[in-house]
Structure formats: structure tokens, C-alpha cells
């Protein structure tokens, strides 16, 4: 199994290598096999990427938006045409099953490119009548945007950042997670083939130090991070030092609230999707499943039955529904939380152990009788571990759902739609689902409140985060000077 790219970086429209950078490997976590060997970006590579981005951006911004859109649209078509190839690459790099990557990763990236390709030409300013004189506003790009990605949705994260940034006239330097370095390079190749001028989308490899070097560089105007809250605190602070615009897409411990009038099968299905899809490595997962006491036993019964049917196995086998965690280290971390859950007195309903001799597989795990103070109910586990908590009243569950520093997402299942809207209005979360969970179409803004982040990706809202407003006052009469 090899997925060796032509070189570690993609800079100024071409592959780039500097063997002076520290070597690192990308590993297929189902088997432990090394699939690629790369080098971290050196200061020389970063310099080239940032200079190329700065040099290319003004001419790109000066193009008619419809021309920028045409290139991005072509890239979306190329991504779709190569969906299988890109999905295999993503499966090798992340361990996620091909069954998922075929529909959720490159496909979502292509949607973003297509959406923002169409959005770019519709962006206009305002005219502001002032009674005689007038003013107008221009929407301008920010300049060079640094994108820093997490390892759970590598090509989707790269595309969700690149598409709006490029559509609105910016250049991008993107650093993927060192754990999943490969698919951002494939995106760079596709954008170049679609006709994106050199220097507008650069990929540089490396860990936190390379990310930090980008954030601190004076050539960078905006920073967009997808990552954990601790990293977000550091990156946001460093961006503030340079008075730079910042989007922070961070972690969560989201509540999924199931009232006892909910459709049982749908509620169970959503709870499983919201905890086991991508082996639970999704920021918006509903990892605190609050079930109203009247439905609790039926819910746990069906959940255990359906969880037992999940097919764990080799991620490249299309029949496999659940793969390994992204790395052996992540599997250890998740198993540590499972041990802690047991020690704290949560009741293990199913799973709870490693699966197989090799590979980072952890069984889909459900804990019942979880209480709010337990660590498994407070910390983001980022693995296939569901915590089920009981509740009695609407008022009580809203207070408990909000009693967390996080505020990424939330879900409500009930047949009483008036209650659903009433509850959602009071939940402290950036994205809420009613009788659905974890669907993130590109048309809908996505992002967190509280410690889960600032800014929004996708939807019309992304415009605010990749452009700035210039106000122009137009004097139409004489200047009224008192001296
Ligand atoms: P990390 O926070 O560990 O890393 C995120 C990225 O930041 C990586 O590329 C990392 O590099 C880089 N980084 C680390 N330190 C710094 C620094 N000081 N300056 C600049 N960059 C730095 O997150 P994970 O990769 O472990 O991803 C999991 C987390 O991401 C979870 O908390 C999850 O909730 C969150 N996430 C949020 C999403 C959202 O949209 N809200 C979506 C997906 C995930 P490297 O890892 O290479 O060292």
C-alpha cells in the first residue's frame, strides 16, 4: 500500500521538496503500514509559499468574479470525476471506510468549490444615500489566508477553506495535519489542472511549529484553523498579536436530546451516526445523548441491537461500515477514556474494547447511566464512545445541555415541533438539528459558539470571514471648510 506523492509540498503551482526538513511518515492505521514519507516545510519552503501567494493574489483579485468562479467550478468537476481515487487516498490516510469517503469527503469538497464558484459573481456592495453626497461599499479580499487543518476530514477541511477564500479573491497557504498530509496535495494538483494560477493555493507540510510560523508571518492576513480547543486558544492568541482576522472551528461535547415522543428508530439512527460515523472522530458529534426517562429502556435496547450489527473491518472493503481510529495514539487515548468511564461507574451497554490484534480498531461503545460530572460526559473523546444520560423535564435538559464550555452543535428529537423550536432557541450551539443529526450541507453556515469557536464556514456567512468592507464617501458638492 503506497500513496507516495511526487513531493512533500505544493508551492507556486509546482511540487516542491526540501530534504532539510524533518522527515515524517503517513501511516495506514488499519495495518500500521507506512504509505508515504514526507518532509516538514523548512523556512525556505514557507518563504517561497508565502511570497508566491502574495505575488499571485492581486491579479487574481482583479479578475472578474465569474472568471474565478469558472476555474473553481472546473475543479469541482475534476474532483467529482476523480472521486474514487481521492476517496481511496483519504481512506488510506485516515483509516475511514471507503463506504464513507466515497460519499462524504471529496464530494463535500466539490460541493464547496461549486457553491462558492456560483456565489462569487453575486457579491456586491451597497450604495448609501447621504442627502446630497453619497457613499458606497466595496467587498475586498483579505489577501493571504493561512489554513490549518485537523486530521478527521482532511480534503473536506482543505476545500471548505480554499473555496470561499479563492472565490472572493484571496490566496491560500494550507497546512494539513501531519497525521493526514496527502489529500490536500491532491486538491492542489486539481486546482492547478483546473487553471488556478500558480501561487494561489499552496500546501506546506509540518506540525504545530510550521502552523505557528504561518500564523505569525506578516505576509498572512487571515488565519482559519480547524482543530482542538487547546490549539485554538494558542492560534487565536497568536493571530490577535498580529491583529489578524481569524476563524476557529474547534471541538465540542454536543448534546443530542431525545424526548420520549420521538420516533425511536430515527432517534437511535441519529445517535449512532452522531457517535460512530468516522469512528466517532467528528467535531460536531452528539456525544452526550440525553434520553427522556420514558423512552430510556426502549432506546438502549434498540441501540444495543443495532450497534451489534455494525461491520468493523478493512477500510478499503466497501462492505466495511466502521474502520479504525486515525492512529494508534488516538486509539490509546479513546481506550483510556473507556477505562475512565468504567471506573467512574458508568454502565457499559456494548463495546468497550480494542478489536483485533493489529490496527487502531475500537468497538462501538455505549455507556448508560452517565452523569454530568463524569469525565466521559465532559471531555471530547473523539472516538466511538456514546454517553447516554437520563432526564425528566425540558427545563432540566436545557440547563444540563448548556452546562459546558463547548457550544458547537446540538440536536433535538421530538414529534412536537413547537417544543423543538422552543428548545433549540435556548441551546447554546452554533448548529442545531431537529429530527436529524450531523448533516452539514455547504449551503448552511457551520461553526461554534463559546469555546467551540468563532466565525462561520459555508453558506452566505463565509463572505464575512473572507472579505472586508471598504467604505467610499463620494463628495458631490463643494468642500465646506470653516477656515
Ligand atoms: P489539533 O488541535 O491537535 O491540530 C489541529 C491543527 O493545528 C493541526 O494541523 C496541528 O498540526 C496544528 N497545530 C497544532 N499546534 C499549533 C500551533 N501552536 N500553531 C498552529 N497550528 C498548530 O487537532 P487534531 O488534528 O487532533 O483534530 C481534532 C480536533 O479538531 C478535535 O478537537 C475536533 O473537535 C476538532 N475539529 C473541529 C472541527 C470544526 O469544524 N469545528 C472539524 C473537525 C475537527 P499537527 O497536528 O500536524 O501537529
pLDDT tens string 132-180: 999 999 999 999 999 999 999 999 999 999 999 999 999 999 999 999 9
Mean pLDDT of 184-200: 98
* Ligand 1 pocket check for 11: Cβ under 6 Å: no
Dump pLDDT digits (tens) for 283-298.
999 999 999 999 999 9
* Ligand 1 pocket check for 320: Cβ under 6 Å: no
Strand partners, 36: 26
d(CA 5, CA 11): 14
Q: For residue 425, what are the CA distances in angstroms to 157, 353, 422? A: 28, 38, 5
- The number of residues in the chain equals 483
CA of 71 to the centre of ligand 1 (A): 29
**Cell matching residue 43:** 523556512
Q: Which residues are part of the catalytic machinery?
A: 161, 249, 283, 457
**Cell matching residue 240:** 490577535
What does residue 36 show for φ and ψ, rounded to 5 degrees?
-160, 150
Q: Is the pLDDT of residue 1 over 90?
A: no
* Ligand 1 pocket check for 210: Cβ under 6 Å: no
Dump pLDDT digits (tens) for 473-483.
999 999 999 99
For atom 44 of ligand 1, the residue with the nearest CA is 283
Top mutation candidate among 231, 244, 279 for ligand 1, by most atoms within 8 Å of CB = 231
pLDDT at 357: 86
* Ligand 1 pocket check for 177: Cβ under 6 Å: yes
CA of 138 to the centre of ligand 1 (A): 34
Mean pLDDT of 81-91: 98
CA of 375 to the centre of ligand 1 (A): 21
For atom 43 of ligand 1, the residue with the nearest CA is 283
Q: Is the pLDDT of residue 411 over 90?
A: yes
Are the C-beta atoms of 113 and 73 separated by less than 8 Å? yes
For atom 13 of ligand 1, the residue with the nearest CA is 208
For residue 410, give the 3-state DSSP assignment: strand
The closest of 59, 41, 68 to 217, measured between CA atoms, is 41
Dump pLDDT digits (tens) for 260-272.
999 999 999 999 9
Are the C-beta atoms of 455 and 224 separated by less than 8 Å? yes
d(CA 255, CA 43): 43
* Ligand 1 pocket check for 148: Cβ under 6 Å: yes
pTM of the model: 0.97
Are the C-beta atoms of 42 and 25 separated by less than 8 Å? no
CA of 149 to the centre of ligand 1 (A): 6
Amino acid at each position: 500500500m503506497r500513496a507516495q506523492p511526487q513531493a512533500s509540498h505544493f508551492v507556486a503551482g509546482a511540487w516542491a521538496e526540501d530534504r532539510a526538513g524533518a522527515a515524517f511518515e503517513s501511516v495506514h492505521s488499519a495495518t500500521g503500514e507506512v504509505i508515504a514519507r514526507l518532509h516538514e516545510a523548512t523556512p525556505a519552503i514557507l518563504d517561497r509559499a508565502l511570497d508566491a501567494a502574495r505575488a499571485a493574489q492581486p491579479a487574481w483579485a482583479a479578475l472578474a468574479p465569474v472568471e474565478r468562479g469558472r476555474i473553481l467550478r472546473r475543479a469541482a468537476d475534476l474532483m467529482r470525476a476523480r472521486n474514487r481515487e481521492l476517496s481511496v487516498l483519504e481512506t488510506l490516510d485516515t483509516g475511514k471506510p471507503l463506504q464513507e469517503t466515497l460519499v462524504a469527503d471529496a464530494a463535500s469538497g466539490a460541493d464547496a468549490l461549486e457553491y462558492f464558484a456560483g456565489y462569487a459573481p453575486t457579491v456586491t456592495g451597497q450604495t448609501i444615500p447621504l442627502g446630497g453626497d453619497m457613499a458606497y461599499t466595496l467587498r475586498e479580499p483579505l489577501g493571504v489566508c493561512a489554513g490549518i487543518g485537523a486530521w478527521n476530514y482532511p480534503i473536506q477541511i482543505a476545500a471548505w477553506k480554499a473555496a470561499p477564500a479563492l472565490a472572493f479573491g484571496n490566496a491560500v497557504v494550507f497546512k494539513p495535519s501531519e497525521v493526514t498530509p496527502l489529500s490536500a496535495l491532491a486538491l492542489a494538483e486539481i486546482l492547478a489542472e483546473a487553471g488556478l494560477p500558480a501561487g494561489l493555493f499552496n500546501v506546506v507540510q509540518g506540525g504545530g511549529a510550521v502552523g505557528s510560523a504561518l500564523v505569525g508571518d506578516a505576509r498572512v492576513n487571515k488565519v482559519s484553523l480547524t482543530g482542538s480547543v487547546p490549539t485554538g486558544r494558542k492560534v487565536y492568541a497568536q493571530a490577535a498579536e498580529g491583529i489578524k482576522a481569524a476563524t476557529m472551528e474547534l471541538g465540542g461535547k454536543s448534546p443530542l436530546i431525545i424526548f420520549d415522543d420521538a420516533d425511536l428508530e430515527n432517534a437511535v439512527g441519529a445517535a449512532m451516526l452522531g457517535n460512530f460515523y468516522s469512528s466517532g472522530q467528528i467535531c460536531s458529534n452528539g456525544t452526550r445523548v440525553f434520553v427522556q426517562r420514558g423512552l430510556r429502556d426502549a432506546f438502549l435496547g434498540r441501540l444495543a441491537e443495532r450497534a451489534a450489527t455494525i461491520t468493523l473491518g478493512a477500510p478499503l472493503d466497501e462492505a466495511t461500515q466502521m474502520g479504525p481510529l486515525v492512529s494508534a495514539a488516538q486509539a490509546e487515548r479513546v481506550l483510556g477514556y473507556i477505562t475512565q468511564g468504567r471506573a467512574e461507574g458508568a454502565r457499559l451497554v456494548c463495546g468497550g474494547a480494542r478489536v483485533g490484534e493489529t490496527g487502531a480498531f475500537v468497538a462501538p461503545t455505549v455507556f448508560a447511566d452517565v452523569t454530568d460530572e463524569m469525565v466521559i460526559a465532559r471531555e471530547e473523546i473523539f472516538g466511538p464512545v456514546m454517553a447516554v444520560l437520563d432526564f425528566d423535564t425540558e427545563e432540566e435538559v436545557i440547563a444540563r445541555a448548556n452546562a459546558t464550555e463547548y457550544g458547537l452543535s446540538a440536536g433535538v428529537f421530538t414529534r412536537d415541533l413547537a417544543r423543538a423550536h422552543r428548545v433549540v432557541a435556548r441551546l447554546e450551539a452554533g448548529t442545531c438539528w431537529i429530527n436529524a443529526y450531523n448533516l452539514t450541507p455547504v449551503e448552511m453556515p457551520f461553526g461554534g459558539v463559546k469555546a467551540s469557536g468563532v466565525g462561520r464556514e459555508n453558506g452566505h456567512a463565509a463572505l464575512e470571514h473572507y472579505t472586508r468592507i471598504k467604505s467610499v464617501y463620494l463628495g458631490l458638492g463643494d468642500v465646506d471648510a470653516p477656515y
